[in-house]
Chain A
Amino acid sequence: MARITAGITSSHIPALGAMIDLGRTQEPYWKPIFDDYEWVKTWEQQEKPDVVILVYNDHASAFDMDVIPTFAIGCAEEFQPADEGWGPRPVPVVKGHPDMAWHIAQSCILDEIDLTIFNKMEVDHGLTVPLSLMFGQPEEWPCKVIPVPVNVVTYPPPSGNRCWLLGEAIKRAVESYPEDLNVQIWGTGGMSHQLQGPRAGLVNKEFDMAFIQDLYDNPERLRHMPHIEYLREAGSEGIELVMWLIMRAALGDNIEELHRFYHIPASNTALGHLVIRSNP
C-alpha cells in the first residue's frame, strides 16, 4: 500500500523561482533563505519520494474568471509550466501520476469531499517554485507530482475545517492505493503577507509563530479559525495558510518535527518552511 511519509510547508513566491532561474541565489538578500533550503534538498535526496501531492493555489494562470474550482486535482500525464507574463519558467515539465490522481479523486468524492478533475492544466509558480526549492535544478523532476490547486483568490475560500477534512480524505485515499509508494504531501504559500492596497507589506511574526506551533500542538484551533482572523492578522494573502491544514491533516496524529525555518522578508512575505515526519 502507498503511504504518506512526510509533509513539507514552503513559501512559493515567484521571486524565489526567478532568483534560482537567474543564478542569483547567493546575493546577500536571498542567501539566508537558499542556505536554509540546502537542508531539505539533501534530505529529499535520501527520502526519494515516488509521488508528491502538491497543495498550492493557482494565481490566475490555469483558472481565469470563467472557472473557479474550490478544490481541484490534476489527473493529467504532464503539466506544462505557465507563461505568467515573463515567459514560462525554464523548468522541466511536471510529470503527473494519473492512476493515483484518479484514485484520490474517486476516493475523496466517495468520502464526501468533492474534487474537480482536471485532465489538462498548466501549473504556475505556486507549484513550480516549491519543486525548485526542494529539488534544485535537475534535468527532470525526480518524482511524480499530483497538483491539488485550492481557491484562495475569490472569496470565500474553503474554511480551515473543510481543508482539514480534505487532508484526512487524501490520507485515506493514499492508504487505499494498492502500489507500495512513498508519498509526500506539501502545503505551500504563506505565511503572513499582503500584496495589495495601502496595507501591503503586512507581516505578523507573532501570528506566524503561533500558527506554526499550533500546527503541531493544537491544530483544532487552526481548523476553526475564521477567514476574518487570517485577513486581520496575517494580511489579505495570508489566507493561503489554510492550505497548510490540508497537508497537516493528511499526516495523521503521530508526527515528528524534522526541520523549521522562519524568515522575514522574502520580497513581500514572511517565509515559513517546515518538514514534518508522519510515523505509522
Chain B
Amino acid sequence: MTDKKKINIHEYLEELEDIPGTRVFTAQRARKGYWLNQFCMSLMKKENREEFKKDERAYLDKWNLTEAQKQAVLNRDYNAAIDEGGNIYFLSKLFSTDEKSFQYAAGSMTGMSQEEYAEMMIKGGRSPEGLRSKKGGY
C-alpha cells in the first residue's frame, strides 16, 4: 500500500471555501440548514406537497426555520437558501414540487435567463478558467 498522506482538517476545510461562486456542503452548513433540509424532505410526500401549496407560509411556520430560511423558500431564491444551509439535492424536492427541473433551478442561481443558461450548456458549459480559486485567481 502507498504511504498515507495525512490531511490537515483545518487546511482541508479552508480550501473548500476558496472556490468562486460555490458553497460546499460542509458540516457547518449542514448544521445550519438542518431544519431547512428536513422541511424539503417532507415534500417527498404528496399530502405534504398539497398542504404546502395551499398555504406556503402556514406550512413553513410549522417548521423550526429562521425567517431568512422561510423567505428564501417563499422567494424560491436558491442562492439564499444555500447561504442558509440548504443543499441542492434537498432543495430539489422544493423545485420538483413546483414542477421545475434541475436545469431551471441551477440556471436561476447564475443570474442568467433560463434560455441563456441552456444556450451556454449547449455551447459546452461554463469554462473553469478563472473560476478555480478565489485566492489564486486562476
Contacts and interface: CB of A to CB of B under 8 A. Distances in A.
Q: Which of A66, A85, A192 has the most CB of B within 10 A?
A: A85
B19 A231 contact: yes
A15 B101 contact: yes
Given A267-B101, A268-B102, A199 B22 contact: yes
Contact of B106 (A18, A86, A195, A231): A195
Contact of B124 (A154, A226, A264): A264
A270 B121 CA distance: 9
Contacts, number: 170
Interface residues of A, number: 51
B93 A199 contact: no
Contacts of A199: 19-22, 110, 126, 131
Nearest to A237: B88
A13 interface: yes
Contacts of A207: 128
A156 to B, nearest CB: 7
A83 B99 CA distance: 13
B74 interface: no
B110 A153 contact: no
Nearest to A239: B24
Contacts of A198: 20-21, 79, 109-111
Contacts of B16: 155, 227-228, 231
Chain A, interface SS category? loop
A263 B50 CA distance: 38
B89 A59 contact: yes
A197 B87 CA distance: 11
Given A61-B44, A199-B126, A203-B124, A154 B109 contact: no
A61 to B, nearest CB: 7
Nearest to B112: A201
Interface residues of B, number: 64
B37 A201 contact: no
Contacts of B49: 85
A82 B103 contact: no
Nearest to A236: B22
Nearest to B93: A85
Contacts of B7: 226
A196 B78 contact: yes
B23 to A, nearest CB: 6
B92 A60 contact: yes
A70 interface: no
A264 B118 CA distance: 12
A65 interface: yes
Nearest to B106: A200
Given A232-B128, A265-B121, 14 more contacts: A15-B101, A84-B93, A86-B99, A194-B126, A197-B22, A198-B79, A200-B106, A202-B126, A228-B12, A228-B18, A232-B19, A265-B124, A268-B102, A270-B125
Interface of B: 2, 4-5, 7, 12, 15-16, 18-27, 30, 33-34, 37-38, 40-41, 43-46, 49, 78-79, 82, 87-90, 92-97, 99, 101-103, 105-107, 109-111, 117, 120-122, 124-128, 131-133
